[in-house]
């Protein structure tokens, strides 16, 4: 931003803090590209209207030469003309320069070649893997890092129960992702700050030689306010990390060496504290399966989130991908509901996910396999009564086929 415009904002800061209504501006600021969604989240987390206004004005000074005139436009469009006039009073006329156009190179769409299996049906191990519009490149060896955070034993003051059976989940997933050619790192019983530290460490690794990254969270969970990815995961100290912030560590802004590569998050934790009793269907539609009588949940009541990752300033226009692109978050349960875990054999979700990956990873894409997991888990019943429905938030741009070791 030009110094003259910074001086105008600083000179009028007290009036802006007193009268500005930031909530009316967020959509326009996002649409005009002044702020990213994560920067708006950061401003909103400041709390009161005055604190949000103060943070907004402070951040605005870092947003380039177009930020000031676009901010004036937003004020006028949201009925805050008096503030726009205040800022324009005594200021030189502002001419809004168009953003530098970016030449878009259209990729040539080529089919993803497959080698047919002898039976002529599903593609076999000889399938050629290429990065195209149809499929991500997944032939690096190793394929990438897989971080598993397994919280089983919670500190007494957290008021959270220990998670018996989670060690079984952890061992299954460690074996499975090693089989899928990942470098697996397991961390156990982490506090909130330790979880953040491990994620930050992962984001600072050089992923340039790898094709993918996986994060698996095994813990208690809760429902929190969000605008992209619901839910939060607890540290053993009773403090949580929102799933939205977990994904932020590996997005295109915070981890450049993973840009354009798939980032996969598997969350075995409750999305809330509601228990799903299901609804009646015809006997032909479902094959009932009952869980054990010692089923436990990973549920904690809903909380509100105020924690946020700070976001760095963005340079002027250039070819980009949306920040959450190439991210998939798979949840063990539908947002708002509990997730069931058997103390002797592990959670429904992980048991099923491990089995589906073992049987299908060589021939079936990930999103289809997760649909198969949804179907299998939905047929279980806890204590003959309660149901569970996994689900995913999918921002992948291509099909993803794992490379299995033979």
Of 11-20, 39-48, 245-254, 380-389, the poorest mean pLDDT is in 380-389
Q: For the chain, what percent of residues have pLDDT higher than 70? A: 70
pLDDT at 368 (0 to 100): 95
Q: Which residue ranges does the chain devote to CATH 1.10.533.10?
A: 3-89
**What band does 304 get if pLDDT is binned at 50, 70 and 90?**
very low
pLDDT at 44 (0 to 100): 84
pLDDT at 345 (0 to 100): 64
Q: Kindly provide the residue ranges of all beta strands, DSSP E only, lying in 178-258, ordered along the sequence.
A: 182-188, 212-218, 221-222, 232-234, 240-242
Name the fold adopted by 3-89.
Death Domain, Fas (1.10.533)
- With vertex at residue 89, the alpha carbon angle to CA 84 and CA 94, rounded to the nearest 5 degrees, is 70
Three-state SS at 167:
helix
Active site residue 207: no
The answer on pLDDT for 152 being more than 70 is yes
Residues in the chain: 406
**What band does 99 get if pLDDT is binned at 50, 70 and 90?**
very low
Q: Which residue ranges does the chain devote to CATH 3.40.50.1460?
A: 144-275+323-395
**Contacts of 153 by beta carbon, 8 Å cutoff, 6+ apart:** 162, 163, 189, 236
The residue from 146, 170, 213, 270 that is catalytic is: 270
Radius of gyration of the chain (CA): 24
Of 72-76, 181-185, 359-363, the poorest mean pLDDT is in 72-76
**What band does 380 get if pLDDT is binned at 50, 70 and 90?**
low
Q: Could you report the per-residue pLDDT of 106-130, keeping only the tens digit for each?
A: 444 444 444 443 334 444 444 444 4
Of 60-64, 119-123, 127-131, 333-337, the poorest mean pLDDT is in 119-123
Most confident range (mean pLDDT) of 69-83, 157-171, 354-368 is: 354-368
Measured CA to CA, the distance from residue 383 to residue 277 in angstroms comes to: 11
CB 330 within 8 A of CB 246: no
The residue from 74, 212, 213, 220 that is catalytic is: 220
- Give strand pairing partners of 188: 150
Give 342 or 157, the one with higher predicted confidence.
157
Three-state SS at 5:
helix
pLDDT at 67 (0 to 100): 87
pLDDT at 263 (0 to 100): 97
Residue 367's Cβ-count burial label (10 Å; 0-12, 13-18, 19+) is middle
Counts of helices then strands in the chain (DSSP H, E): 12, 15
pLDDT at 386 (0 to 100): 64
Q: Could you report the per-residue pLDDT of 157-213, keeping only the tens digit for each?
A: 999 989 888 899 999 999 999 999 999 999 999 999 999 999 999 999 999 999 999
Structural domain 144-275+323-395, CATH architecture: 3-Layer(aba) Sandwich (3.40)
Q: Could you report the per-residue pLDDT of 347-356, keeping only the tens digit for each?
A: 878 999 999 9
pLDDT at 337 (0 to 100): 56
pLDDT at 4 (0 to 100): 86
pTM over 0.75: no
**Can you read off the two tokens belonging to residue 139?**
């032939």
Closest by Cα among 137, 146, 216 to 182: 146
* pLDDT, averaged across the chain: 77
**What band does 377 get if pLDDT is binned at 50, 70 and 90?**
confident
Residues 57-63: contacts with CB under 8 Å, at least 24 apart: 57/9, 57/13, 57/16, 57/17, 57/20, 59/35, 60/1, 60/9, 60/34, 61/1, 61/6, 61/9, 62/1, 62/313, 63/1, 63/34, 63/35, 63/313, 63/314
Cis peptide before 238 (omega within 30 of 0): no
Active site residue 213: no
CB 296 within 8 A of CB 343: yes
Measured CA to CA, the distance from residue 395 to residue 374 in angstroms comes to: 18
Per-residue DSSP letter, 76: H
CB 115 within 8 A of CB 126: yes
């Amino acid at each position: 931003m030009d110094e003259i415009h910074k001086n105008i904002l600083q000179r009028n800061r007290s009036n802006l803090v007193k009268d500005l209504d930031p909530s009316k501006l967020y959509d326009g600021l996002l649409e005009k590209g002044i702020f990213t969604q994560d920067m708006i989240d950061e401003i909103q987390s400041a709390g009161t209207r005055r604190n949000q206004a103060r943070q907004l004005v402070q951040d605005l000074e870092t947003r380039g030469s177009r930020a000031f005139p676009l901010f004036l436009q937003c004020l006028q469009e949201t009925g805050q003309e008096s503030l726009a006039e205040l800022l324009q009073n005594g200021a030189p006329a502002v001419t809004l320069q168009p953003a530098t156009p970016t030449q878009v190179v259209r990729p040539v769409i080529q089919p993803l070649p497959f080698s047919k299996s002898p039976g002529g049906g599903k593609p076999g191990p000889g399938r050629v893997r290429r990065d195209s519009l149809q499929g991500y490149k997944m032939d690096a060896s190793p394929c990438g890092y897989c971080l598993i955070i397994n919280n089983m034993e919670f500190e007494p003051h957290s008021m959270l129960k220990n998670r018996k059976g989670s060690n079984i989940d952890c061992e299954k997933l460690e074996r499975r992702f090693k089989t899928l050619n990942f470098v697996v790192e397991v961390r156990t019983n982490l506090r909130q700050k330790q979880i953040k530290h491990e994620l930050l460490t992962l984001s600072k690794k050089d992923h340039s030689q790898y094709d993918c990254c996986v994060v698996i969270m095994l813990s208690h969970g809760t429902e929190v306010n969000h605008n992209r990815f619901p839910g939060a995961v607890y540290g053993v100290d009773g403090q949580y990390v929102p799933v939205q912030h977990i994904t932020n560590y590996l997005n295109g802004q915070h981890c450049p060496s993973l840009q354009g590569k798939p980032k996969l998050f598997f969350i075995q934790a409750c999305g809330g504290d509601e228990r799903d009793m299901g609804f009646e269907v015809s006997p032909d539609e479902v094959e009932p399966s009952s869980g054990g009588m010692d089923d436990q949940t990973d549920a904690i009541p809903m909380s509100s989130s105020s924690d946020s990752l700070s976001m760095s300033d963005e340079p002027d226009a250039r070819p980009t991908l949306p920040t959450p692109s190439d991210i998939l978050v798979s949840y063990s349960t539908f947002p708002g509901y509990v997730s069931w875990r058997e103390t002797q054999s592990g959670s429904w979700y992980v048991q099923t996910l491990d089995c589906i990956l073992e049987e299908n990873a060589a021939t079936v894409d990930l999103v289809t396999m997760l649909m198969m997991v949804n179907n299998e888990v939905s047929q279980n019943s806890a204590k003959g009564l309660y149901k569970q429905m996994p689900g995913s938030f999918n921002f992948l741009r291509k099909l993803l086929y794992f490379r299995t070791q033979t």
